[in-house]
A = this chain, B = another copy of it.
Amino acid sequence: MLSTTPRTTLGRAKDRSRTGREDLYAVLDAGLVCHLGVVAGGVPMVVPTGYGRIDDTLYLHGSTGATSLRAEGEVCVTVTHLDGIVLARSSFNHSMNYRCAMIYGRPRRVKDAEERLAALRAITEQLAPGRWDATRKPTPKELAATAVLALSLSEASVKVRQGPPLDEEEDYALPIWAGVLPLHQSWGTPEPDPAMTADLPVPDHVASRTIPVR
């Protein structure tokens, strides 16, 4: 079960709330980018960034010089999948179908060499499965330039909306088309780096990903 702190308990649209840990994992594991919110100099800052998950820990990384990773205090990490536009009979009831996870907490800076490497592997594999083993591993210099943060998944909420519009009772009789326009993501054809000197085939871990994302 997920936490039930005030900020992870929905005040409105409670029917959109999901409370299982597997719901959280599903939203996170299907994502590619999260939006990391920090407070820097008293004001919020929201940056898109990659992430990885190992069990109940979310890992983030970036340059040791990045403002967003140097900020102190609590953060909010949000992962959103937009699945479709909900076209209602009234403008008021227009909506989106989506899956969204929000995680709150104070990240821990990862210093242990083994955990740092595992985290970087998870982040790389989230973005590009199969890539960690296929590429050159980080050098000590690269590792020194990389900050790794760990955020516990102990305080999180998941919100999901799916299905047709919900209109006002009296609006259903209106002669207005209503429904959902689904939004899909898909992988395109791999584009080899023009700087590749050898004539290497597209590896399986890339080619096999050229299927719809969902």
Contacts and interface: CB of A to CB of B under 8 A. Distances in A.
Interface of A: 7, 11-12, 32-33, 35-48, 50, 63, 65-67, 73-78, 80, 82, 84-85, 87-92, 94, 96, 98, 100, 102, 104, 120-121, 124, 127-128, 131-132, 134-139, 142, 146, 164-165, 167, 171-198, 200-203, 206, 209-210, 213
6 contacts: A37-B45, A43-B73, A134-B176, A180-B191, A182-B188, A182-B189
A26 to B, nearest CB: 17
B183 A185 contact: yes
Per assembly, the copies of the chain total: 2
Contacts of A194: 164
Nearest to A176: B135
B185 A131 contact: no
Contacts of A65: 11-12
Given A90-B136, A90-B138, A136-B89, A74 B43 contact: yes
Contacts of A85: 32, 127-128
A206 B152 CA distance: 42
B185 A180 contact: no
A46 B102 contact: yes
Given A120-B91, A171-B136, A181-B190, A77 B46 contact: yes
A11 B65 CA distance: 9
Contact of A76 (B11, B45, B178, B191): B45
A46 B196 contact: no
Contacts of A66: 12
Contacts of A201: 177
Contacts of A183: 32, 185-188, 213
Nearest to A36: B46
A202 B176 CA distance: 10
